[in-house]
Amino acid sequence: MEPKRFTFRIRRFNPSDALDSYDEDFTLEVAEGVTVLEALLRIQAEQDGSLSFRYACRGAVCGSCAMVVNGAVALACRTQVHAAGSDTITIGPLPNLNVVKDLVVDMDFFLRKLTPVRPWLDPAGPDPERERLVDPDEWKEPEPYTNCILCASCHGVCPVTERDPRYLGPAALAKHYRFLADPRDGADDARLGFVDGDHGVWGCDTVWSCVKVCPKRVPPTKGILATRARIRPIEDKNGA
Ligand code: SF4
Ligand code: FES
C-alpha cells in the first residue's frame, strides 16, 4: 500500500504558557506498518521539536507510551496508524493523571498507589537453603498478574479512579493479588487487611474496563473478585 497522508490532531499543553490545553494539527505521509509512536517521533524531528511524549522500549515492554489514540487508551508503540480507520488521528494524554507537558503525564500519583499493597514476596517460615520452588500448577493463578508493565492504561479508563482519588485502582489491586495468590507468600491475612475497604477491593465497579484495555492481558477485575472471595469467609468466620 502507498504511503497515505494523515492529520495528527495532538493535544498540546505547556505549563510555561498562559494557555489552556489546545489541539494542534500536523500532517504526515505515513507508510503502512508505521506506529503512532513512530509518527510522533517524525513529527518531533521534522516539524516541532518541542512536542513532548514519553517512550523507551518501542516494543510494548516498558509501559511508557500509553496515551489516548482516537478516543481509546492504547500503547502508541503498538498502535498502527493505518489501522486507526480514519485519516485524522487524535492523540491525547492518559486520563486521570495530571499533564506535565503535551502527552507526558505525572506517573507519581499512579505509582504511589502500589506502596500500600506491599508489592513484594513476604514468605512465612525460615529461609530455605536454596530457592523457593513453585509447583507449575500452583503458578497458573498468579502468573498472568506478573505481566503488568505499569503502563497505567487501566488507571486511565477506570471509572472509580476517576471519581475517587483514594481508590487503590486496578493496577495496584492486580499487583496485590499477584502476591496474595503466590503460593510462596505467607502474609495472606495482613494482605487481605490492606485492601478490605471502599478504597480497596470493595470500591471496584466490576465493569471490566481495565481488563479490556490491558495490553498485557492482566485481568485486574478477576483478581479483585478473587480477593473479595477470600475476605468474605474471614468475615463469616468472625460473624460479620
Ligand atoms: S494491569 Fe495492564 S493496563 Fe494496568 S498497568 Fe498493568 S499492564 Fe498496564
Ligand atoms: S515505548 Fe515501551 S511500551 Fe511503548
Q: What is the pLDDT of residues 157-211, one digit of tens each?
A: 999 999 999 999 999 999 999 999 999 999 999 999 999 999 999 999 999 999 9
pLDDT above 90 as % of the chain: 90
Which are the contacts of 90, defined by CB distance < 8 A and separation ≥ 6? Answer: 9, 10, 11, 23, 68, 69, 70, 71
Position 236 scores a pLDDT of: 47
CATH fold group of domain 4-105: Ubiquitin-like (UB roll) (3.10.20)
Residue 188, phi then psi, degrees to nearest 5: -55, -50
Domain ranges of the chain: 4-105, 108-237
CATH fold group of domain 108-237: Fumarate Reductase Iron-sulfur Protein; Chain B, domain 2 (1.10.1060)
Averaged pLDDT for residues 68-75: 97
- pLDDT higher than threshold 50 for residue 116: yes
Averaged pLDDT for residues 210-226: 98
- C-alpha span between 173 and 227 (Å, rounded): 9
- Backbone dihedral region for residue 210 (phi beyond 0: left; psi -120 to 50: alpha; all else: beta): alpha
- How many angstroms is it from 151 CA to the middle of ligand 1? 5
The model's confidence at residue 235, banded by pLDDT at 50, 70 and 90, is: low
Report which protein residue has its CA nearest ligand 1's atom 2: 214
Averaged pLDDT for residues 39-52: 98
Q: Ligand 2: does its nearest atom lie under 6 Å from the Cβ of 65?
A: yes
- C-alpha span between 66 and 95 (Å, rounded): 10
The structure's pTM equals 0.94
Q: What is the pLDDT of residues 79-97, one digit of tens each?
A: 999 998 899 999 999 999 9
What single-letter amino acid sits at 92? G
Nearest listed ligand to the Cα of residue 224: 1
- pLDDT higher than threshold 90 for residue 47: yes
- pLDDT higher than threshold 90 for residue 125: no
Q: What is the pLDDT of residues 4-37, one digit of tens each?
A: 999 999 999 999 887 799 999 999 999 999 999 9
- pLDDT higher than threshold 70 for residue 234: no
Q: What is the CA radius of gyration of the chain?
A: 21
pLDDT above 70 as % of the chain: 97
Nearest listed ligand to the Cα of residue 151: 1
Which are the contacts of 122, defined by CB distance < 8 A and separation ≥ 6? Answer: 179, 185, 186, 187, 190, 191
Which are the contacts of 175, defined by CB distance < 8 A and separation ≥ 6? Answer: 114, 117, 119, 145, 148
Which atom number of ligand 2 is nearest to the Cα of residue 55?
1
